[in-house]
Structure 1
């Protein structure tokens, strides 16, 4: 059951101050959806705050450090109070959660990978999204035979694929994205009975601060493709690792 294109969604996007998160926010707003966009330092998120001014009442910007459990708990307390998430018949609910926030520690070499990099990457890229989804689970819309349930989209990476591994590169990022893939599979099982779809998505190599200027894709192209995959997904896809064309990525 695909989402009717005219039906506005209530969305949460993490890491929305730049890159893919900012572009997800832009494109969701352009569709008419309502968005809660989070980042660690909202006061410094100039582009995001400009968007909020252009879309009063439909974009709310809230602080979130996904690696900090206290910050996750605070967001879970605040979301039900937002008018932007109020449904007409079922209160504050979430139709789409995009776990985009993450970190990449560049320049790592074998024999010189700091434990702090691994700890930070796992907390930001894997355990953080898992705990956030768990905390927001009561707000996720249930699906049944008459309506589509919520979708949780975890932004993974081809570097998190064990099957595609060809070289020793950025281990803290690769390990944490592989862990995010397992978190996706676990969440899919945990939320399946409620009709909620959970996906791991590989956007490809994208021109962002993280991806660099030599990357293959613009953020606008990558996000448009990923939203098409999200739109086309069903509960049967829950727990899968998909690329921007909807193809299966090797675990």
Structure 2
């Protein structure tokens, strides 16, 4: 069944810039009520301006997705931010990319940071807030084609790729854990997006990617849970 983003209650992580910020803007424009998280809300100037423009519809909250104690603090605050209403959409978007990695000099600290941010963090956060999700809610893990084992043809961005591959497994496991409640969990590749992470050469504007992703999300069906899709709704190989 197609779902409209209008009036939905949404939680978006990594929302202070890039794709996360674009998703927040578009969810608000569609009438959604959004909780936008980032590590330092006091420095999230654009989000705080948006909160003033959408009073009562946007709350900016602190979250370090790599830290389970931060998940717990957010879970305690969420009922206050949603007036006790359940969440319809959770977008695990926060990400980290360590550029310039070369074989022979990949650092354990970078691998660990990627795993905690891209795989363990979204898995544990979803687990923590799942009692606050509506039945038939959507959980979206912003993945990447770089996390596809089948598509790899070169040594590139190993920490990021390994973290995203692990995130894809977390997506499938979460889909099984939440299936009985009708909650759909998917991994979505947003395309190569022109952000701080994607770089200036990327062909996709963040707003265009965000709009396409929201269309895919709105059209998700129960049978789509546990799949890996791109921003155009095409299935990607694991």
Mapped partners of 2:103, 2:85: distance in 1: 47
1:146 corresponds to: none
Secondary structure of 1:131 counterpart: helix
Establish whether residue 51 from structure 1 lines up as the match of residue 29 from structure 2: no
Question: What's the TM-score, normalizing by structure 2?
Answer: 0.99
1:23 corresponds to: 22
Question: What's the TM-score, normalizing by structure 1?
Answer: 0.93
1:197 corresponds to: 184
Mapped partners of 1:3, 1:185: distance in 2: 21
Secondary structure of 1:248 counterpart: coil
Unaligned runs of 5+ in 1: 143-148
TM-superposition CA deviations, 1:156-214 (whole Å, max 9, x none): 00100001001001100000000000000000000000000001000110000000000
2:123 corresponds to: 130
Mapped partners of 2:220, 2:42: distance in 1: 35
Mapped partners of 2:45, 2:61: distance in 1: 13
Unaligned runs of 5+ in 2: none
**Superposition CA RMSD, Å:** 0.8
1:107 corresponds to: 100
Q: Measure how far apart 1:92 and its partner are.
A: 2.4
Query: More relative contact order in 1 or in 2 (CA 8 Å, sep 6+)?
Result: 2
2:164 corresponds to: 177
Q: Measure how far apart 1:151 and its partner are.
A: 0.1
Mapped partners of 1:110, 1:92: distance in 2: 48
Mapped partners of 1:57, 1:8: distance in 2: 12
2:204 corresponds to: 217
1:34 corresponds to: 33
5 Å matches for 1:110-121? 110-121=103-114
